[in-house]
Amino acid sequence: MPEIDHRLNAYRDDLAEEGLRGLVDAKRFVEGTPATVSVPVTPLRARPELSCGTDTELLYGETARVLDIAEGWAWVKSDIDGYVGYVPQDALAPPQAAPTHIVAVPRTFVYRGADLRFPQAFALSMGSRLPVVGEAETRETRYFLLDGGLAVVANHCAPVASPTSDDYVPIAARFLETPYLWGGRSGFGIDCSGLVQLAMQMAGRRVLRDTDMQAETIGQPVGRDELTRGDLVFWKGHVAIMEDEKTLLHANGHTMTVAREGLDDAIRRIGWLYAQPTGYRRP
C-alpha cells in the first residue's frame, strides 16, 4: 500500500476533486470503493498494525472510500473529514441504505428488539448514523427500528439532515467526564480536537480533525481580551472551548477526562509544563 500523509484532508486545498494531488502520482490515484463502517467505533491508524496508535476514529454508519485492501487491512479515506489511514477490513461493509437519523446523545444502546428489557446488541456514540426502517412503542417508550430486528430509543436520535442545535457549546458540555482518549472522537473516549469536531458537527458545521488544522481554518482570530462563549483557545497540540468568558471545556490529559477549567488556571498550568496559547479563534 502507498505511504502518504495520513492526515490528508479532502476539504483542504480542494483535494476533494483532485484526489491525492501532490502526495502520490496522479496515475496511481483511484476514486476508491464506497464502504460503510459496520462496528460501533473503529480506530484509523497511520500503519496497518495493531501496535500503531490511533490517529482518529470512524463511527458506525459513517462512510469511507476504500483505496486498497491487503492482509486484512483496508486503506481508506473518510468521507467525514478526508482523513486517510488503515482500518481492519472487517470493520467495513458494502454501502448501506442512506442514513435517516444520527445518534444525538453521548452514548446509547441498540437493543435486539423494541424493549429496554431485551439484550443489548451493542452501544453507539453520538454521531453514529442509522437507516431507520420503522417505529414501535413499548410501555410508552418509542423506538426506531433498524434492519435485523434491532431497535434504538427514538429520543436518543435526531434526523440526519437537521442539526441538533445551532450552539455547539452545550453539545460539548454533554461529554463532561467522558474519558480522554488520544485519537478518540466518540462518547466512549475523546480527545481535545475530537470534542470540537464532533460537537460542531452535531451543530451542523463540518470542521477539520486535528488541532493544527482547526487553528488554521476555523473562524477568525480574536484577542484574549475579546474571548467569549464558543471561542476556541489553542496551544500547540491542544484546543479548548470557552464555555463563558472565564471558563473553558476541554478533553485533556491532566484530568484524563472532558472537564471544566478556569481559563487563567489552564493557561498557568499548561504554560508551566509546555507553553502559552498560540492563538484564539471565533467560529
pLDDT of 7 reads 55
Q: How many CB atoms lie within 10 A of CB 128?
A: 26
pLDDT value of position 272: 87
Element (H, E) at 212: helix 211-217
Tell me if 137 sits within 8 A of 102, measured CB to CB.
no
Q: Is 180 left (phi over 0), alpha (psi -120 to 50) or beta?
A: beta
**283 residues of the chain, pLDDT tens digit each:** 444 445 554 434 333 333 333 333 333 456 899 999 999 999 999 999 999 999 999 999 999 999 999 999 999 999 999 999 999 999 999 999 999 999 999 999 999 999 999 999 999 999 999 999 999 999 999 999 999 999 999 999 999 988 778 899 999 999 999 999 999 999 999 999 999 999 999 999 999 999 999 999 999 999 999 999 999 999 999 999 999 999 999 999 999 999 999 999 999 999 988 899 999 999 9
Q: What is the pLDDT of residue 30?
A: 61
The pLDDT of residue 164 is: 76
Q: What is the pLDDT of residue 74?
A: 98
CATH superfamily of 168-282: endopeptidase domain like (from Nostoc punctiforme) (3.90.1720.10)
Q: Which helix (H) or strand (E) element contains residue 78?
A: strand 73-78
Sign of the Cα torsion 220, 222, 226, 227 reads positive
Closest CA to 230 of 220, 239, 242: 242
DSSP 160-184: TTS-S-S-HHHHHHTTTTPBB-TT-
For 15-93, which CATH superfamily applies?
A: SH3 Domains (2.30.30.40)
Residue with cell 480533525: 209
Given a contact cutoff of 8 angstroms between Cβ atoms, the answer to whether 258 and 192 are in contact is: no
pLDDT for the residue 11: 39
Provide the pLDDT for residue 166. 87
pTM, whole model, 2 decimals?
0.90
CA nearest neighbour of 169 among 198, 127, 134: 198
Which CATH code, of 3.30.70.870, 3.40.50.2020, 1.10.645.10, 2.30.30.40, is assigned to 101-159?
Answer: 2.30.30.40
pLDDT for residue 17: 35
Number of H helices, E strands in the chain: 5, 23
Q: Please determine whether the domains at 15-93 and 101-159 fall in the same fold group of CATH.
A: yes
User: 168: exposed, middle or buried (C-beta count within 10 Å: 0-12, 13-18, 19+)?
Assistant: buried
Q: What is the C-alpha separation between 250 and 279, in angstroms, rounded?
A: 16
Cα–Cα distance measured from residue 194 to residue 196, given in angstroms and rounded to the nearest whole number: 5
Question: Hey, where are the domains in the chain?
Answer: 15-93, 101-159, 168-282
